[in-house]
Amino acid sequence: MPHDKVKTAARQRMAATGEAYTEARRMVIAEQGAQTGSPLFPEPDVTRDGPLGWVEPSVSFLLESTRPVAVAGRMNVNAWYSRFPDREGKFGARLKSHRGADHEVALDELLLHERLAQKAKVSYEENGAGPDFRLYSDGRHVGAVEVMSLFMEQGWSEVQARHGRIADELNRRLALDRWFIYFDVVQLDRDPSAKALTEWASETMEELPDPSKSGIREHHRTYTAKGVRLSFTFAACKPDPGGPRGRIVGPGPVIGGFVKSGDRLRTALQKKAGNRYDLRDSPFAICVGAHDPFCSLDQVEAALYGNVQYEVATMSRSRAQNGFFGRRPGEPEGRNTRISCVFVLSNWHPWEPEKARLIRLDNPFAARRFPEELLAVDAQVARVDHGDGRFSFEWLPARPTDTW
């Protein structure tokens, strides 16, 4: 069955509820099976329409969720994978990996392959070696792309994980009814007893005064145990606000500290910039999957073109000579000239690929320019010629907003 008809069935299924929802789901399963034979991500046999746990592997959403967006995501991933060169199934295993980084990186590669394949013949890890993608047009090698992904700083991820473990235990044991729970970790030398913490939270909520009578809609309490101190906030909500799927514990902890995403990005790019790949005298690009929520566009620009600096006397603005691109003493012809440009992929999910943002930042000193027709972008930093040998590098058509 044509893919557009499968998508139409999915949209119908996404709008359905109750028995109609179940019937539409069966239709999608049948149509998808007719299209792909044995999909990488089959439709689950058991209904699961609740959210994932805070520390649950992200692949569980495609493996287990029966929410409409999960169905749409599975259809897209299955269709893209059916066109991906994976004879031995190793890439498919990464897509289904319970290790979050492996799964997320594989999804980035899958989407990029789908887009590149629209303009060129694409081979993946040719002869078992990098770069990830080699591009051919009319039998001629026209370029190569290496994919890398940037995740949150490990220390901050660990803070989120320890909060998430506690939140998941509470969400499994407590039903969302009249109170939302938020908590901050004050001390955590070891994980608290899930049973003891659940009993304390349940008893505390029972003792809280009815907000409709007291007018007090927020209460603060502290849970203490050996090596554990948690600061709780109980916020009143309407009865049964989330139904059986609702999570009683709110979002994760506030994370503080100096943001070093740009520095980490610069270091990661440098590891890809040497002579490790045979580029065959062709353009070479790196595509970064931006999974670090703190990696703003400012951080990306600083990583590539240097940190912003000001001259105190005049307050004139310039960039330091510490960018991945640019000149510096000892490299008057420019740094990393083998790299034509860097693409950054952000804000995307398998169920909404049309919302993905892809930007391109050109190397002013690149030995070879990456062909623009090979990969469409939403915006780019590119050379603008002004005549008489004058030129500048500017955002085209305009610099994206920083919320990306």
Residue type, 128: G
d(CA 175, CA 198): 11
User: What angle, rounded to 10 degrees, do the helices at 3-15 and 68-82 form?
Assistant: 170
- The tens place of each residue's pLDDT in the chain, 404 residues long, gives 344 444 444 444 444 434 444 544 555 544 444 444 689 999 999 999 888 888 899 999 999 999 999 999 999 999 999 999 998 899 999 999 999 999 999 999 999 999 999 999 999 999 888 899 999 999 999 999 999 999 988 787 888 888 999 999 999 999 888 899 999 999 999 999 999 999 999 999 999 999 888 889 999 999 999 999 999 999 998 765 555 456 889 777 666 667 789 999 999 999 988 788 899 999 999 999 999 988 999 999 999 998 877 666 666 777 778 899 988 777 888 889 999 999 999 999 999 999 999 999 999 999 999 999 999 999 999 988 888 878 788 999 999 986 56
Q: What pLDDT is stored for residue 404 in this prediction?
A: 62
pLDDT at 239: 66
Residue 354 CB-density burial (10 A; 0-12 exposed, 13-18 middle, 19+ buried): exposed
CA 25 from centre of chain? 27
Q: What span, in angstroms and rounded, lies between the C-alpha atoms of 344 and 148?
A: 10
Helix, strand, coil proportions of the chain in percent (round to 5)? 35, 25, 40
- Residue listed under structure tokens 């139409």: 8
The tokens describing 13, both together, are: 């299924």
Return the SS3 of 140: strand
- Domain boundaries, given as residue ranges, for the chain: 1-82, 91-153+260-404, 155-245
Tell the residue number behind the tokens 């012809």, with chain if given. 333
Q: Is the pTM of this model over 0.85?
A: no
Burial class (CB in 10 A: 0-12, 13-18, 19+), 256: exposed
**Given this model, what pLDDT does residue 16 score?**
43
133 CB-near residues (< 8 Å, 6+ apart): 112, 113, 116, 122, 123, 124, 144, 145, 146, 147
CB-based contacts of 256, cutoff 8 Å, min separation 6: none
